[in-house]
Amino acid sequence: MIINTTILGWVTFIYFGSAIFYIFRMVTGREFWGPFASIIAFTGLIAQTVGLILRWFESYKMGIGHAPLSNLYESLIFFSWTIVLLYLIIEWRIKSRNLGAFVIPFAFLSMAYASFSPNVNSRIQPLIPALQSNWLISHVITCFFGYAAFTIACGLGFMYLLKGLGKDEDTRPFFRFLPGREIVDELIYHSIVIGFIFLTLGIITGSVWAYSAWGSYWSWDPKETWSLVTWFIYAAMLHSRFVRGWRGKRMAIMSLIGFASVLFTYFGVNYLPGLHSYF
């Protein structure tokens, strides 16, 4: 076993631990558990960063050096890395840990899928000719930051809908930590905006790459098409907010629908034939 996959395997458990602490804090309604959750998540992020950098070095030692963003395993690792990074930035900015229980589990699931699924090959593989492009890094980074922002919006959507189950001033342990509706609504909006910009950049960098690799900036490949569908969903969401003033529950539900589309763009498309078969 190569050292980086060992570290990244451990990160799976670290994120699991962090998720448990965030959920425990939520369920017991005691802030006491919060700092543990944050520190564990931060430790996981550092370890994961080290793991990714080591993987990068190891690929150079193997003589096939490339950024660790080139297959399903590496993309899943990077996905969870962007989720935790964005989440911790938000936690620090809004000074609240309430979102952790809804977001960190996604980072854990992504790591668990990468580490334990028999369909995901964790070996460092050389780049096939189509992937040997400078656009690989910018395309993958922008797409996954977009996906991560949409994941956070989805976590917020869940939170909003759960809040709807309780009363406005609920003091029961679980509901006590659910922030006010306007705040969640505002956060959903901001996450969607960030995600939308990154998704757009991801589509643009992807088309530039496609133009230099296949001679056509848009060829209705299933992944391209699905990314456009996702883009449409979030565009519709932003318009209904800007023009119609949609807020709250509708936005929460749309953030879940949007995320379902993101997931299909990421995973579902692999079951359809197309140019993105290596991801």
Q: What's the CA gap between 71 and 279, in Å, rounded?
A: 5
- Print the binding letters for residues 85-124 with another protein: x by CB under 8 A, - otherwise: ----------------------------------------
Evaluate whether 101 touches 174 at the Cβ level (below 8 Å). no
Residue 67 vs 213, nearer CB to another protein: 213
Residue 10 vs 186, nearer CB to another protein: 186
Residues 6 or more apart in contact with residue 25 via CB below 8 angstroms: 31, 32, 33, 34, 37, 97, 100, 101, 177
Q: What dihedral angle (degrees, nearest 10) is formed by the CA atoms of 199, 82, 163, 112? A: 120
Q: What dihedral angle (degrees, nearest 10) is formed by the CA atoms of 17, 22, 23, 27? A: 130
3-state helix, strand, coil in the chain (%, to 5): 75, 0, 25
- Residue choice 119, 167, 168, 243 for contact with another protein (CB under 8 A): 243
| Residues that contact another protein, how many (by CB under 8 A) | 41
Q: What's the CA gap between 55 and 37, in Å, rounded?
A: 27
Judged by CB under 8 A, which stretch of 12-20, 29-37, 68-76, 205-213 contacts another protein? 205-213
Query: Can residue 39 be called a binding residue for another protein (CB under 8 A)?
Result: no
* Helix (H/G/I), strand (E/B), else coil: 43: helix
Residues 6 or more apart in contact with residue 156 via CB below 8 angstroms: 99, 102, 184, 187, 188, 191, 252, 255
Evaluate whether 11 touches 48 at the Cβ level (below 8 Å). yes
Query: Can residue 68 be called a binding residue for another protein (CB under 8 A)?
Result: no
Residue 47 vs 183, nearer CB to another protein: 183
Judged by CB under 8 A, which stretch of 5-13, 28-36, 98-106, 236-244 contacts another protein? 236-244
- Shortest separation between residue 113's beta carbon and another protein, angstroms: 23
Query: Can residue 211 be called a binding residue for another protein (CB under 8 A)?
Result: yes
Q: How far is CA 117 from CA 45, 68, 113, in A?
A: 21, 19, 5
- Shortest separation between residue 32's beta carbon and another protein, angstroms: 30
Evaluate whether 91 touches 100 at the Cβ level (below 8 Å). yes
Residue 60 vs 214, nearer CB to another protein: 214
Query: Can residue 49 be called a binding residue for another protein (CB under 8 A)?
Result: no
Judged by CB under 8 A, which stretch of 3-11, 104-112, 127-135, 159-167 contacts another protein? 127-135
The residues binding another protein (CB under 8 A) are 64, 125-126, 128-130, 132-133, 193, 196-197, 200-201, 204, 207, 211-218, 220, 222, 225-226, 228-229, 232-233, 235-236, 239-240, 242-244, 269, 272-273
